[in-house]
Amino acid sequence: MRWVIGDIHGMFRPLQVLLTAVTSFDRNAHFIFAGDYINRGPQSREVIALLLTLPSAQFVRGNHDDVFDFIVNGASYCDYPFATRQEAVAAYLECGLDQTFASYGVGPAEIDRAIGSSQPDAVEGLAKAIPQGHRNFFRVLDPVVEYDDVFIAHAMWRCDEPDRMALSPGLEERARRDDALRHRLLWGRFREAEIRCRKPWQRTGYFGHTPVLKLRGSRGIGNVPLRGPRIVLVDTGAALGPQGRLSAVCIEDGSFLQADPDGKIVGSE
């Protein structure tokens, strides 16, 4: 069966435990990840190393991944206002980028020196701490993963636009010309009304990016994947404190498993 896993954000232990739990009763589990593998949590390097060992898994590009791609590879899917990679590093320290670099052995002093340097290639010294295989992982992430019955994107697809109108094979060409489309796929946020509304989508869309606890409509149902017509939100805030959860949702039967920040299986349905 196919399992969609929400935003990991450097939380290695919950990821490790969740993958083990899923495969313990679904030996043929196929994993699709909804993006944001790094930042905030303390073990981004370990997360990426584990993901690279998974056979045939599929990985969606998240907004944190896209900015990190720009920082370590000098290229990205979205366009950003950063004049330099140094500006991107400085801007994302408050989003947990320091934790990501720390997992690769880069300390605050090295980051400060790179940010304060007048040399345009100063960030390359930070990037060299990232193994090439990990840098390649971020460079080839897809904005959307599609099947005949579902599609998976990190952030958002417009609720008033049919899903088959612009997705592949036409998505790549359209996105190349449409900055707003690229931005929505990685950065957009669903409002409660959009989650509840009927959509002209022929398939169900699975999305990360917006922690369900931040949506008023999730109150009273707990920190679990949030469903609406043709939509499932799978980001249950793995790195957002003790109440955070990492969730895996089964496409075929709608069941889910969750792990808490300490790596305990705490929820299932």
Q: What is the structure's pLDDT at 215? A: 78
Q: What is the structure's pLDDT at 6? A: 98
Q: What is the structure's pLDDT at 167? A: 54
Cβ atoms < 10 Å from Cβ of 9: 31
Q: Which domain holds residue 24?
A: 2-268
Q: What is the structure's pLDDT at 175? A: 67
With vertex at residue 1, the alpha carbon angle to CA 34 and CA 148, rounded to the nearest 5 degrees, is 70
Q: What is the structure's pLDDT at 37? A: 98
d(CA 43, CA 81): 28
| Side chain identity at residue 198, one-letter code | R
DSSP summary character for residue 240: S
d(CA 99, CA 180): 30
d(CA 176, CA 92): 25
Q: What is the structure's pLDDT at 169? A: 58
What tens digit of pLDDT does each residue of 208-263 get? 999 998 875 555 467 899 999 999 999 999 999 999 999 999 999 999 999 999 99
Contact 59, 152 (CB under 8 A): no
Q: What is the structure's pLDDT at 196? A: 92
- Of the candidates 197, 195, 206, 202, the one whose C-alpha atom is nearest the C-alpha of residue 144 is 206
CATH number for the domain spanning 123: value is 3.60.21.10
d(CA 114, CA 119): 8
Q: What is the structure's pLDDT at 265? A: 95
Contact 68, 8 (CB under 8 A): no
Tokens of 59: 């990985």
Domain count for the chain: 1
Q: What is the structure's pLDDT at 68? A: 98
Core vs surface per residue 61-92: b (16+ CB within 10 A) or e: bbbbbbbbbbbbeeebbbeeebeebbebbbeb
| Side chain identity at residue 20, one-letter code | T
Q: What is the structure's pLDDT at 163? A: 77
Question: Which ranges of the chain have pLDDT less than 50?
Answer: 165-166, 220
Cβ atoms < 10 Å from Cβ of 147: 13
| DSSP codes, 20-78 | HHHHHH-TT-EEEE-S--SSSSS-HHHHHHHHTTSTT-EEBPPHHHHHHHHHHHS--SS
